């Protein structure tokens, strides 16, 4: 069968960072109208490949050809003008501007040098409408949840071409983890849009950790491992087991193993007791008990108040009602310091903005919480510090295993591990994990889940938040169900509890 000429062809692409060879001669091609998945574990080089393609990073070797013509982009703008649009994992928009402004930023319709605000809003509304989205384009972007902001980023990116026909100027659309913060309906919405665009001849490069989604939407896939190409396959030619084996380079039955662990560990006495804790507009007052060694999972749809509940338990937001008692002592929760002092640790879902300090090294990021608790006058002794850092880099398998590496250069999964290490060295009594597995690969996901099980066996309590119900079911002793910013139920986990039970609870929560 004769294939058309690839719209994009990358040959022998090399990219190096100090001490790391992120891409070691990778070949990659993309055909018009196909949806192509780029797959690999964290640190396999997916994000780097995309950044090289879109001109964020300069090439260190190899060639890129667009429509058969050699091309090298030195800036994202150049790549965009050549027809390569990108939506990154983290939304790169201006939250203080309106949706319409965000969509048209940099290419506002003008007359005599003045922006035609009315026309801009009208066209933005039409664009959003045509794509079947219910968004008020005059509202500031920040008034929408992250999921909608992501959709706006996609709208913006496909709208970059001719204003009258969205996507017409876009030859290649790169979607880097677009679904990681979307719920099922929004994912379907996105897929509908992707299919429509691919029918128009746009080649879509789709990066996702959700294998089911890849099998649902993609035609072809390229698999990377440790910065090298391990294969390009048609999706229908390779089953999921084969794919996972390609990704990690060995057979995987670790998930099964994990399943046996489930619920074996018992729980101890009461550790945390929240009574009537709440914050207006964020979460309705709730009561919550967490016992020693208990994993309490929180289930609920996006925006149901999972994160808000966790933030109150950490003092990240101040509660306006209720009390928290930890280990028998009442804690004021007016600032994170109070919670930290009582042995609570919190890994935010927003690693980059609320977790890591990207300019600092792995070592500095890891010791930050411990050092903050000790105060500035009592620095951690160098020997003890290096030993602790080395221990956790090894235990969590942080790569590169270089304490001097800048955290900003690490892949998402490794950043998550650095964040975990930071809190684990403080030996907390309650560890709050908000979406710890979001945007990271299967291998790291499994490792983190195993870690949660073993921490709980050692007597640490864990508050575990995840969008994937299976994950919550697999790990939790108890499951708290949230709906519409309210804790509506508390289920003891057991064989009779399934994803279906939880979904029913969420649905019936409306009638309470």
Partner 1 sequence: MTTTPRWRALTRHHLFWPVAVLIALLIVNVPFTPDFFSVKMTDGHLYGSLVSIVLFGSPLILVAVGMTLVIATGGIDLSVGAVVAITGALTCSYISDQTDQNALSVVFLAMGVGLVAAVVCGLWNGFLVARMGIQPIIATLIIMVAGRGVAQLITDGQIITIHSEPYKLIGGGYWLTLPFSIFVVAAVVAVTVLLTRRTALGLLVESVGGNAEASRLVGIRSTRIKIMVYVFCALCAGIAGLMISSNTSAADGNNAGLWIELDAILAVVIGGTALTGGRFSIGGTVVGALVIQTLTTTIYTIGVPTQTNLVFKAAVVIVVCLLQSPKFREKVFGARRSRNLTDPAPAEPVLPAAAAPKPPKTSTEVSR
Pick the closer one to partner 1 by CB: 60 or 136: 60
| Binder among 33, 76, 201, 358 for partner 1 (CB under 8 A) | 358
Contact range with partner 1 by CB under 8 A, out of 116-124, 346-354, 435-443, 448-456: 346-354
Give the chain's radius of gyration (CA, Å).
24
Contact range with partner 1 by CB under 8 A, out of 54-62, 111-119, 152-160, 454-462: 54-62
Binding to partner 1 by CB under 8 A, coded x per residue (else -) over 14-53, reads x------x--xxxx-x------------------------
Determine whether 76 is exposed, middle or buried from the number of CB atoms within 10 Å of its CB (0-12, 13-18, 19+).
middle
| Binder among 302, 380, 491, 503 for partner 1 (CB under 8 A) | 380
Pick the closer one to partner 1 by CB: 277 or 356: 356
Number of residues that bind partner 1 (CB under 8 A): 61
| Binder among 162, 216, 257, 359 for partner 1 (CB under 8 A) | 359
Binding to partner 1 by CB under 8 A, coded x per residue (else -) over 60-99, reads xxxx------x-x---------------------------
| Least spacing, CB of residue 17 vs partner 1, in Å | 12
| Least spacing, CB of residue 497 vs partner 1, in Å | 32
Give residue for tokens 């090399």.
14
Binding to partner 1 by CB under 8 A, coded x per residue (else -) over 435-474, reads ----------------------------------------
1 belongs to the binding site for partner 1 (CB under 8 A): yes
| Least spacing, CB of residue 185 vs partner 1, in Å | 30
User: Which phi and psi (to 5°) does residue 351 adopt?
Assistant: -55, -45
| Binder among 319, 336, 413, 443 for partner 1 (CB under 8 A) | 336
Determine whether 300 is exposed, middle or buried from the number of CB atoms within 10 Å of its CB (0-12, 13-18, 19+).
buried
Alpha carbon separation from 184 to 10, 174, 187, 332, 388 (Å, rounded): 33, 21, 5, 38, 41
Q: Is 17 helix (H, G, I), strand (E, B) or coil?
A: strand
| Least spacing, CB of residue 316 vs partner 1, in Å | 6
Give all strands of the β-sheet with 69-70 in edge-to-edge order: 20-30, 8-17, 61-66, 69-70
- Closest of 313, 312, 239, 249 to residue 280, by C-alpha: 312
Half-sphere exposure for 232 (CA within 13 Å, toward CB): 9
CB atoms within 10 A of CB 89: 19
* Residues 96-125 within binding reach of partner 1 (CB under 8 A): none
* Residues 250-309 within binding reach of partner 1 (CB under 8 A): none
364 belongs to the binding site for partner 1 (CB under 8 A): yes
Binding to partner 1 by CB under 8 A, coded x per residue (else -) over 186-225, reads ------------------------------------x---
Half-sphere exposure for 460 (CA within 13 Å, toward CB): 24
229 belongs to the binding site for partner 1 (CB under 8 A): yes
Distance CA 349, CA 465 (A): 9
233 belongs to the binding site for partner 1 (CB under 8 A): yes
Whether 14 contacts 62, CB under 8 Å: yes
Q: Where are the beta strands (DSSP E) in 370-504?
A: 430-434, 461-465, 478-483, 486-492
H or E element that contains 172? strand 172-176
Which residues share a beta bridge with 130?
A: none
Binding to partner 1 by CB under 8 A, coded x per residue (else -) over 394-433, reads ----------------------------x-----------
Pick the closer one to partner 1 by CB: 167 or 412: 412
Please provide the size of the chain in residues. 512
Alpha carbon separation from 497 to 87, 349, 477, 504 (Å, rounded): 38, 26, 11, 11
| Least spacing, CB of residue 148 vs partner 1, in Å | 22
Pick the closer one to partner 1 by CB: 139 or 335: 335
Distance CA 247, CA 241 (A): 10
**Site residues for partner 1 per CB under 8 A:** 1-3, 9, 11-14, 21, 24-27, 29, 58-63, 70, 72, 222, 228-234, 314, 316, 335-337, 340, 346, 348, 353-360, 364, 367-369, 371-380, 422
């Amino acid at each position: 069968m004769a294939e058309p000429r690839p719209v994009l062809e990358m040959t022998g692409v090399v990219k190096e960072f100090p001490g790391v060879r992120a891409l070691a001669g990778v070949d990659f091609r993309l055909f018009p109208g196909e949806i192509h998945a780029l797959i690999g574990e964290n640190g396999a080089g997916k994000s780097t490949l995309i950044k090289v393609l879109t001109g964020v990073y300069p090439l260190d070797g190899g060639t890129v050809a667009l429509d058969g013509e050699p091309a090298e982009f030195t800036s994202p703008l150049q790549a965009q003008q050549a027809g390569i649009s990108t939506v990154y994992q983290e939304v790169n928009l201006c939250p203080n501007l309106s949706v319409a402004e965000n969509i048209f930023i940099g290419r506002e319709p003008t007359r005599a040098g003045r922006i035609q605000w009315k026309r801009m809003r009208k066209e933005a509304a039409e664009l959003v409408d045509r794509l079947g989205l219910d968004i008020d384009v005059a509202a500031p972007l920040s008034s929408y949840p992250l999921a909608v902001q992501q959709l706006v980023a996609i709208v913006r990116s496909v709208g970059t071409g001719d204003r009258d026909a969205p996507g017409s100027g876009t030859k290649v659309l790169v979607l880097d983890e677009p679904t990681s913060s979307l719920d099922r309906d929004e994912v379907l919405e996105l897929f509908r849009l992707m299919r429509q665009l691919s029918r128009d001849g746009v080649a879509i490069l789709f990066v996702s950790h959700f294998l089911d989604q890849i099998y649902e939407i993609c035609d072809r896939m390229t698999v990377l491992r440790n910065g090298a190409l391990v294969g390009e396959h048609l999706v229908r030619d390779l089953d999921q087991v084969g794919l996972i084996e390609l990704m990690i380079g060995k057979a995987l039955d670790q998930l099964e193993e994990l399943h046996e662990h489930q619920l074996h560990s018992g729980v101890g006495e009461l550790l945390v007791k929240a009574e009537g804790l709440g914050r207006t507009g964020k979460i309705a007052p709730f009561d919550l008990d967490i016992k020693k060694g208990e994993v309490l999972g929180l289930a609920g749809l996006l925006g149901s108040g999972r994160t808000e509940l966790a933030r109150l338990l950490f003092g990240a937001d101040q509660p306006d009602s209720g009390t928290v008692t930890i280990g028998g002592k009442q804690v004021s929760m007016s600032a994170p310091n109070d919670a930290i002092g009582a042995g609570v640790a919190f890994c935010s879902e927003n690693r980059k903005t609320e977790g890591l300090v990207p300019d600092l090294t792995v070592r500095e990021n890891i010791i930050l919480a411990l050092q903050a608790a000790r105060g500035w006058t009592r620095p951690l002794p160098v020997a003890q510090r290096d030993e602790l850092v080395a221990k956790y880099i090894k235990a969590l398998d942080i790569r590169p295993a270089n304490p001097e590496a800048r955290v900003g250069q690490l892949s998402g999964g490794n950043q998550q591990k650095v964040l975990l290490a930071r809190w684990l060295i403080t030996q907390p009594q309650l560890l709050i994990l908000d979406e710890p597995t979001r945007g990271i690969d299967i291998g790291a996901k499994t490792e983190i889940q195993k870690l949660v099980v073993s921490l709980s066996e050692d007597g640490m309590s864990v508050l575990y938040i995840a969008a994937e119900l299976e994950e919550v079911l697999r790990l939790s002793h108890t499951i708290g169900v949230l709906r519409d910013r309210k804790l509506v139920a508390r289920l003891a986990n057991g064989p009779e509890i399934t994803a279906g039970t939880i979904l029913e609870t969420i649905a019936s929560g409306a009638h309470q």
